[in-house]
């Protein structure tokens, strides 16, 4: 599987944030419209960010959902956001996308995103404890 990694400099931070773009894992295909629970966990399984996806908009062309990721466990002041974008044409999803970003977590530490207890993706924060990822059906291997 090819990995696309791009460095993005945020305007008010001192470090570069790693952004990872990858194909949407099969475990999520056609499940993001009903997904509820988002967690970011440590390698030992401790939840450090928890959120519930809520629909922000929905019509015949698609669905937008978001979950602010609130503190749990270590670093309660860390912040994050998970967003889902589903695009439909003729009642069929033509794009399914999950984006997540976190900041204020431990520096250079691996964490894993779970959706409804299904393991989705493991990422490593940068030296400032930040990371962002995008998983999409529009990104090909």
**Tens of pLDDT along 66-110?**
999 988 777 778 889 999 999 999 989 999 999 999 999 999 999
* Per-residue model confidence as pLDDT tens digits over 1-31: 332 222 232 323 334 455 678 888 988 988 9
pLDDT of residue 3: 28
* Per-residue model confidence as pLDDT tens digits over 27-70: 898 899 999 999 999 999 999 999 999 999 999 999 999 999 98
Tokens of 39: 């967690």
Q: How many CB atoms lie within 10 A of CB 64?
A: 15
pLDDT of residue 5: 28
Token match 């809520």: residue? Answer: 54
Alpha carbon separation from 59 to 56, 88, 89, 90, 94 (Å, rounded): 11, 9, 11, 12, 14
Spatial separation of the C-alpha atoms in residues 63 and 88, rounded to whole Å: 8
Tokens of 88: 């439909």
Q: How many residues does the chain have?
A: 141
């Amino acid at each position: 599987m090819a990995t696309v990694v791009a460095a993005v400099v945020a305007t008010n931070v001192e470090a570069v944030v790693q952004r990872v773009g990858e194909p949407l894992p099969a475990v999520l295909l056609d499940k993001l419209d009903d997904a509820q629970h988002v967690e970011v966990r440590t390698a030992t399984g401790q939840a450090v960010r928890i959120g519930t996806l809520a629909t922000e908009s929905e019509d015949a062309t698609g669905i937008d959902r978001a979950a602010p990721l609130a503190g749990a466990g270590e670093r309660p002041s860390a912040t994050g956001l998970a967003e889902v974008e589903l695009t439909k044409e003729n009642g069929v999803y033509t794009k399914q996308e999950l984006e997540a970003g976190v900041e204020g977590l431990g520096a250079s530490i691996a964490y894993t995103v779970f959706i409804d207890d299904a393991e989705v993706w493991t990422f490593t924060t940068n030296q400032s404890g930040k990371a962002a990822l995008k998983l999409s059906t529009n990104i090909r291997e």
